[in-house]
Amino acid sequence: MNAIPRMVRCDAGSEHVIIRDIQFALHSFHHGNMSGENSFTVGRCTANQRIEMVWSFLKRSFTQSWRNIFKVMIDLNLLNNADNLHIQCRRFCFLSVIQMHLDRFRQTWNVHRIRSEPNGEVPTGIPNVICYQTLRYGARDCSCHLACSIVVLDDIADSYTEAFPQYGCSREFRDLLELINGQNLHESDLPASPNDAKVLFIEMISLLDTM
C-alpha cells in the first residue's frame, strides 16, 4: 500500500520524537492544511486508553515476569548490570526467547475480542478483523498517497533509523563467541526457554571469565 497516515497523534513522550520527524519528512512532499508539521499532533496520554490498556496487560502478563527473572539473577550475583560483558551476553542468550514470547503475546492479543464500552467511540471486536476488514465497521480511508520515490524512503530510513545489531550484541562480542566456539553463530542453536537461556548465560559467563 503506497500510503502514509494523514495524521499521527502521540503523547509528549520523548520516544515519539523520531516518529514525529519521519511523519514531517514524509509529508514534506504534500501541500495543503495537513502537510508538514500539521500532520502530527500531541495530546494527553489519558486519551490513549486502548494502547494504555495494552501496555498494562503486557506488564502484568509479560514484562513483570522477565523483570523478576533478571532481578533474581542479580540477587544471586549471576548477573552484573554494570559489566558490559554481562550485558552483551544477556542480550545474546535472552533476546531470542523474549522475542518469541512477545510474538505469542501479539498473536494472542490480535485474536482476542475487545468488549464494547459505554459511549465508546472506537470499534469493538477482534483486532485482526478490525484492521483488515475495515469496511465492516464503516471505516473511512484517511491515508495520503506517498508522493516520493523509494530512493527518498531509503534516505529517510538512513537518517532516522538504526539497524538492530544481529543477536542484539556488538560485532566484537559476536566475533569473540565465534572464536571461542570455533564455528559461525548461524550454526548454533539459540535457547528455546527462559531456563535454557539462563543456563547458557551462566555457562558463557563462566567460560569468558576464565579467559
- Please list the pLDDT of the chain residue by residue as tens digits (211 residues): 577 888 888 877 777 888 888 888 888 777 777 777 788 888 776 656 667 778 788 888 888 899 999 999 999 999 999 999 999 999 999 999 999 999 998 898 888 887 776 655 666 788 888 877 877 777 777 777 777 778 888 888 888 787 788 888 898 988 888 888 776 777 778 899 999 999 999 999 998 877 7
Which pLDDT does position 73 carry in this prediction? 96
| Matching residue, cell 544477556 | 90
Which pLDDT does position 49 carry in this prediction? 67
Crossing angle of helices 194-209/64-75, nearest 10°?
30
Which pLDDT does position 83 carry in this prediction? 93
Output the pTM of the full model: 0.75
* C-alpha to C-alpha distance for 124 and 140, rounded to whole angstroms: 16
Question: Do residues 114 and 127 make contact, with C-beta atoms less than 8 angstroms apart?
Answer: yes
Query: What value, to the nearest 5°, has the Cα angle with vertex 53 and ends 8 and 97?
Result: 95
Which pLDDT does position 181 carry in this prediction? 76
* C-alpha to C-alpha distance for 161 and 55, rounded to whole angstroms: 24
